[in-house]
């Protein structure tokens, strides 16, 4: 049974759990784990991302997934599209020569990296993660792609927390989100 776009979005939303005061008081954590447990919900996420990409981009060379939850959705989408998948990891997790970018967190700094030969100059890439909050990690991934001279077509997330204005930080890159809170 084909649910259609709205039905798929409803199915995905039904599989998002909210946990108040996690990881600290005042935070409402949006948990995507139930999506992963449901083959139908996971298929709906992949279908919705695929539909967006096919409708908005003529050429995509690579899907770039962020550590760690971008690794859950990115390879499925890349396989559907018949393109490669590249990991953006926390510093120190990849073998070989890497390219690194530091970025600010509310409590300090962090670094992400890719393998130096993972993305070639001029390749057209989409960056994927589970959640957009303040945009720090997605911004760092965009900066990594800039260092590699790749063309960032846009960013995609399952959930966007609109009040945190992360999409503003990513401009001029657009953000496609399945759900907004």
**Site of tokens 């900066």:** 143
Can you tell me the distance from the alpha carbon of 105 to that of 11, in angstroms, rounded to the nearest whole number?
A: 33
The answer to whether residue 106 is catalytic is yes
Structure tokens at 142: 């965009």
- Out of 51, 69, 80, 143, the active site residue is 69
For residue 115, what are the β-bridge partners?
98
Establish whether the linkage from the previous residue to 99 is cis, with ω within 30° of 0.
no
- State the Cα–Cα distance between residues 176 and 42, nearest whole angstrom: 17
Q: Which of 51, 89, 106, 169 is catalytic?
A: 106
* ∠ Cα 141 142 143 (to 5°): 90
What are the residue numbers of the active site? 69, 106
């Amino acid at each position: 049974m084909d649910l259609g776009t709205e039905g798929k979005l409803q199915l995905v939303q039904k599989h998002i759990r909210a946990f108040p005061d996690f990881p600290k008081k005042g935070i409402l954590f949006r948990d995507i784990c139930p999506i992963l447990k449901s083959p139908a919900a996971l298929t709906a996420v992949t279908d919705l991302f695929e539909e967006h990409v096919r409708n908005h981009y003529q050429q995509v060379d690579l899907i770039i997934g962020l550590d760690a939850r971008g690794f859950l959705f990115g390879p499925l989408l890349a396989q559907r599209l018949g393109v490669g998948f590249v990991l953006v990891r926390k510093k120190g997790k990849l073998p070989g020569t890497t390219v690194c970018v530091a970025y600010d967190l509310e409590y300090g700094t962090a670094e992400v990296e890719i393998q130096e030969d993972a993305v070639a100059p001029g390749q057209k890439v989409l960056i994927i993660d589970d959640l957009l909050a303040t945009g720090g990690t997605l911004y760092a991934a965009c900066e990594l792609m800039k260092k590699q001279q790749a063309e960032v077509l846009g960013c995609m997330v399952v959930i966007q927390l609109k009040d945190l204005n992360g999409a503003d930080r990513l401009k001029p890159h657009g953000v496609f989100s399945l759900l907004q809170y």
